Homo-oligomer: A and B are copies of this chain.
Amino acid sequence: MRQKISVREVGLRDGLQIHPTFMPTADKLAWIAAEAAAGVREIEVTSYVPPKLIPQFADAEAVTLGAIAIPGLTVAALIPNLRGAQRGIELGVHKLNFVMSVSETHNLKNVRRPPADSVTDFRAIVELVKSQPPDKRPIIVGGLSTALGCSYEGRIAVSQVVKYATELMEAGADELVVADTVGYADPRLVREVFRAVLAEVGATPVGAHFHDTRGTGLANVSAALDCGVSRFDASLAGLGGCPFAPGASGNIVMEDLCFMLDSMGLDTGVDLERLIEVRKIVAHSLPDIPMQGALAKAGLPRNYVSGARTQAA
């Protein structure tokens, strides 16, 4: 039995939110359907923010409902606040990803409040979520962005990450996600932060969200695996990145992540060749979006057998 690893596609949210061209709703749904068919079982499909703030997500309702119709897929969406949670619950989305920044400066710039107030917001969201009837209650995730570095503050104290992780856990988060939003992390820092967080949050699952901005993304995945993390965000073709660093790499590349995990003998449930094919949908829909990814260029190793790990000793 291979250990199961959950890989979660976030490109439709983290990737598209910084792209100026609107991806037609039908293309988003084709992407979601194809990636689900390739074996990705969880996709963050949109963000419940006001369309005037991010026009890319003006079709949040249609995308959510279309994705929910795909059997076996866990449909997640980002929520910035209680209003977003309400929208998600009304739509019947499976998972709500709340995000706050550990960095005070980043949180102030992003949502105009200190992190402590975001924790208060999260408590209200959890209350709303838990007041739903069980069959309509989404999973609620507490995400900590800039947890491994901040483009305003630089290094972030591990103790601050642990503090907010604990508070979100105590507030009732079903899961936590610790994010290297700007790609500052290295494997040593990943081990320090994840070990410290995991030691404090008990049985609450903790996922990792890494960016490959400085090339360390998969090394950080490997370090997080060593700590026992088994849930990873990634985006197809590494979509995402920073609006202030044109051409810079964004989220870790889903195809390369799945190849590395599969090659290590871990079970992602993903068909690598079918996953690579999904790139064509994105390339066709948004010809000007920068696409990363080593596996797609090089192809699978010769004689590669997924899940084999039957190397002669």
Contact = CB atoms under 8 A, between A and B. Distances in A.
Interface of A: 149-159, 182-184, 186-189, 212-216, 218-219, 221-223, 225, 242, 245, 247-249, 253, 256, 259-260, 263-265, 293-295, 297-299, 301-304, 311-313
Contact of A247 (B154, B297, B301): B297
A313 B193 CA distance: 10
A295 B215 contact: yes
Given A219-B222, A249-B294, A264-B187, A259 B214 contact: yes
B213 A298 contact: yes
Contacts of A311: 155-158, 189
A52 to B, nearest CB: 30
Interface centre among A156, A184, A218, A249 (most CB of B within 10 A): A218
21 contacts: A151-B302, A152-B302, A154-B301, A157-B312, A158-B311, A183-B294, A183-B298, A184-B263, A188-B263, A188-B265, A189-B263, A189-B311, A214-B256, A214-B259, A215-B256, A215-B295, A216-B260, A219-B222, A248-B297, A249-B294, A249-B298
Contacts of A304: 154
Given A248-B297, A264-B186, A302-B152, A259 B157 contact: no
B301 A182 contact: yes
Contacts of A184: 263, 301
Majority secondary structure, A binding face: loop
A303 B154 contact: yes
A243 to B, nearest CB: 13
Contacts of A215: 218, 253, 256, 259-260, 293-295
A213 B159 contact: no
A232 B12 CA distance: 37
Contact of A294 (B149, B155, B212): B212
Nearest to A216: B260
A25 to B, nearest CB: 31
B188 A295 contact: no
A313 B295 CA distance: 38
Contacts of A214: 256, 259-260, 294-295, 298, 301
Nearest to A261: B186
Nearest to A263: B186
Given A183-B294, A186-B260, 15 more contacts: A151-B301, A154-B302, A157-B311, A184-B301, A187-B264, A189-B263, A189-B264, A214-B259, A215-B253, A216-B218, A216-B256, A219-B222, A222-B222, A242-B298, A247-B297
A216 B301 CA distance: 13
A219 B149 CA distance: 20
Contact of A218 (B213, B218, B249): B218
B313 A213 contact: no
Interface centre among A151, A214, A223, A301 (most CB of B within 10 A): A214
A194 to B, nearest CB: 14
